[in-house]
Amino acid sequence: MTEPLILSADPPPGTRLFVTGGANGIGRAVADAYAARGAKVCILDRVVVADAPKEWICLEGSVASAADTERAFKEMDRAWGGVDVAHANAGMSQNKPTLELTEAEWREVLDVNLTGVFLTAQAAGRRMVAQGSGLILATSSIYGLTAAPERIAYTATKGAVSQIVRTLASEWGPAGVRVNGIAPGYVQTAMVEALIQQGRLDRAPLMARTSLRRFGRPADIAGMACFLASPAASWINGAVLPVDGGWMANGGP
What residue spans define the domains of the chain? 16-234
Cα distance between residue 68 and residue 121, in whole Å: 14
pLDDT score of 243: 97
pLDDT score of 252: 62
Please check the confidence at residue 89 and state whether its pLDDT lies above 70.
Answer: yes
Helix axes 116-131, 152-172, angle to 10 degrees: 10
Average pLDDT in the chain: 95
34, 143, 154, 186: which one is catalytic? 154
In the beta sheet, which residues pair with residue 135?
85, 178
Please check the confidence at residue 253 and state whether its pLDDT lies above 80.
Answer: no
- Mark whether 143 is an active-site residue: no
- When pLDDT is cut at 50, 70 and 90, the band that residue 201 belongs to is confident
CATH number of 16-234: 1.10.3720.10, 3.40.50.720, 3.40.50.2300, 3.40.50.300? 3.40.50.720
